[in-house]
Amino acid sequence: MDYEIVVIGGGPAGLAAAIEAKQKGVSSILIIERDRELGGILQQCIHNGFGLHVFKEELTGPEYAERFINELKDEGIDYMLDTMVLELSKDRTITAMNGKNGLMHIKAKAIILAMGCRERTRGAISIPGTRPAGVFSAGTAQRYLNMEGYIVGKRVVILGSGDIGLIMARRMILEGAKVLAVAEVMPFSGGLMRNIVQCLDDFDIPLLLSHTVTEIKGNGRVEGVVISKVDENLKPIPGTEISYDCDTLLLSVGLIPENELSREAGILIDKSTNGPIVNEAMETSISGIFACGNVVHVHDLVDFVTAESRRAGSHAAEYVLGSVEVDKEGLATIPGDGISYIVPQKIRSENLSDKVTFFMRVNKTFSNVSLVVKSGDHVVREFKRKHLAPGEMESIELEKEVIEAMGLESLTIEVRKEA
């Protein structure tokens, strides 16, 4: 089985990349999806807030997904459901299997990685206590509730104030559960302000900042949790323990890009993003293998995933049609003071048409600062910012000429406080 482009993952990233590649002139494209339908995690995100950038209207997750799925079908793009990719090789051969076709070897001229991310679990944050039933990641509880029709508990405590945790607080309340508290280890919430207002404040759910779960109690089923205040080093402060009687603990404690296939193929991974190192074309360290969406870095909004994936799809099409400069080294982007990561990590100025956008996250909150772009010690450009927070992805644009003038010197972006 041969295809010009194979996309791994049929969520928002894979859908947008495949559609874009088709529209750029690639005729044979296949999407491989492990779930029973396309759309990825959007199908369980039944709340509104999607599509303001892409469609200029506010949609729910399933509506956003269905528009792309319809477009994909109109374009006549092939897809396989219930199919698991087992292995990806450097020469762009995919080993996959499903119940109908058995084991398959699929050869592609270009591959687009769009596997998304998964939730961190209790094990990842090492919460002490017993190991009863009733501890769920928020996204798992969301799938049970919104798709399968099961409510996972009646008295709920949520650890982590990321958007999934906040959204689930409201969902559990609307479906008749009691949400006792949302605890957040950081002194600020990682979720959007609008979600704190419409998911917590509207229902008088307390948000406990600088607090974490220090014990889970119960045999068989969760019977309660202990929440403690933490100091500035995020260590629990003895004597601040509060006990909550609950039957469920939901965890919304971060997402990890899902890169087992990428690692096995030998694709270089950025330690800060946990995603592949990519260049301006969203191409990984292996020529012809591209990546986009949450598998590269975790995005705040699906609209940004769509934009990034369209670029990946477009460049993969250029690669297949042979209209792109390959095998050039390019200059590296380096996160300076205050910046935790920058995507893309490499830029080949030869391939830029006019501008390039850099996406980044800061490592703590800042007010009234500048994002300073440097080539060696030389300051190239400054961008003023009133407010920067780790929970909000930041971006800056540079023109092709600016990048060209840097040659192969590295490009650093750092946060500088205003005098």
Partner 1 sequence: MKLGEKKEMVCIVCPVGCRLTVECMKEFLVEDAYSITGNKCKRGVDYAVKEMTSPTRMLPTTIKIEMGILNRLPVRTRNPIPKELIFDCMDVINKVKVEAPISMGDVVISNILGTGVDVIATRSMGRSK
- What residues are paired with 178 via a beta bridge? 155
Show the binding pattern over residues 252-291: x = contacts partner 1 (CB under 8 A), - = does not. Answer: ----------------------------------------
H-run or E-run covering 312: helix 302-321
Minimum gap (Å) between residue 64 Cβ and partner 1 = 9
Please state, as a whole number, how many other Cβ atoms lie within 10 Å of the Cβ of residue 415. 21
- State the Cα–Cα distance between residues 103 and 86, nearest whole angstrom: 9
Minimum gap (Å) between residue 43 Cβ and partner 1 = 7
Tell me which residue of 143, 174, 389 sits closest to 250, measured CA to CA: 143
Please state, as a whole number, how many other Cβ atoms lie within 10 Å of the Cβ of residue 29. 28
Which span (41-49, 213-221, 241-249, 336-344) binds partner 1, by CB under 8 A?
Answer: 41-49
Minimum gap (Å) between residue 61 Cβ and partner 1 = 8
Alpha-carbon torsion (392, 305, 52, 250), positive or negative:
negative
**Residue 192 in contact with partner 1, rule: CB under 8 A:** yes
> Quick one: which of 2, 58, 397, 418 contacts partner 1 (CB under 8 A)?
58
Q: Please check whether residue 150 is in contact with residue 178, taking contact to mean a CB–CB distance below 8 angstroms.
A: no
Structure tokens at 190: 């990682």
Minimum gap (Å) between residue 383 Cβ and partner 1 = 18
Could you give phi then psi for residue 55, rounded to 5 degrees? -110, -5
- State the Cα–Cα distance between residues 119 and 95, nearest whole angstrom: 25
**Residue 52 in contact with partner 1, rule: CB under 8 A:** yes
Which span (114-122, 190-198, 244-252, 368-376) binds partner 1, by CB under 8 A?
Answer: 190-198
Of residues 8-37, those binding partner 1 (CB under 8 A)? 36-37
**DSSP string of 160-207, one letter each residue:** --SHHHHHHHHHHHHTT-EEEEEEESSSS-SS-HHHIIIIIGGGT--E
> Quick one: which of 84, 124, 193, 237 contacts partner 1 (CB under 8 A)?
193
Which span (103-111, 191-199, 243-251, 345-353) binds partner 1, by CB under 8 A?
Answer: 191-199
Of residues 161-180, those binding partner 1 (CB under 8 A)? 171, 174-175
H-run or E-run covering 228: strand 224-229
**Residue 198 in contact with partner 1, rule: CB under 8 A:** yes
**Residue 46 in contact with partner 1, rule: CB under 8 A:** yes
Which span (54-62, 284-292, 310-318, 396-404) binds partner 1, by CB under 8 A?
Answer: 54-62
Count how many Cα atoms sit within 13 Å of the Cα of residue 393 in the half-sphere of its side chain. Answer: 19
Cβ proximity to partner 1, 51 vs 218, nearer residue: 51
**Residue 148 in contact with partner 1, rule: CB under 8 A:** yes
Task: Please tell me whether the peptide bond between 206 and the residue prior to it is cis, using omega within 30 degrees of 0.
Answer: no
**Residue 197 in contact with partner 1, rule: CB under 8 A:** yes
Minimum gap (Å) between residue 297 Cβ and partner 1 = 18
Of residues 300-319, those binding partner 1 (CB under 8 A)? 300-301
Tell me which residue of 48, 7, 2 sits closest to 261, measured CA to CA: 7
- State the Cα–Cα distance between residues 384 and 155, nearest whole angstrom: 45
**Residue 202 in contact with partner 1, rule: CB under 8 A:** yes
Cβ proximity to partner 1, 58 vs 245, nearer residue: 58
**Residue 146 in contact with partner 1, rule: CB under 8 A:** yes
**Residue 63 in contact with partner 1, rule: CB under 8 A:** yes
Minimum gap (Å) between residue 46 Cβ and partner 1 = 4
Minimum gap (Å) between residue 174 Cβ and partner 1 = 6
**Residue 367 in contact with partner 1, rule: CB under 8 A:** no
Q: How far is CA 282 from CA 177, 357, 358, in A?
A: 43, 12, 12
**Residue 84 in contact with partner 1, rule: CB under 8 A:** no
**Residue 65 in contact with partner 1, rule: CB under 8 A:** yes
Number of residues near partner 1 (by CB under 8 A): 32
Tell me which residue of 24, 108, 115 sits closest to 288, measured CA to CA: 108
Q: How far is CA 277 from CA 107, 182, 262, 405, in A?
A: 23, 35, 11, 23
Residue numbers of the site for partner 1 (CB under 8 A)?
36-37, 43, 46-49, 52, 58-60, 62-63, 65-66, 145-149, 171, 174-175, 192-194, 196-198, 202, 300-301
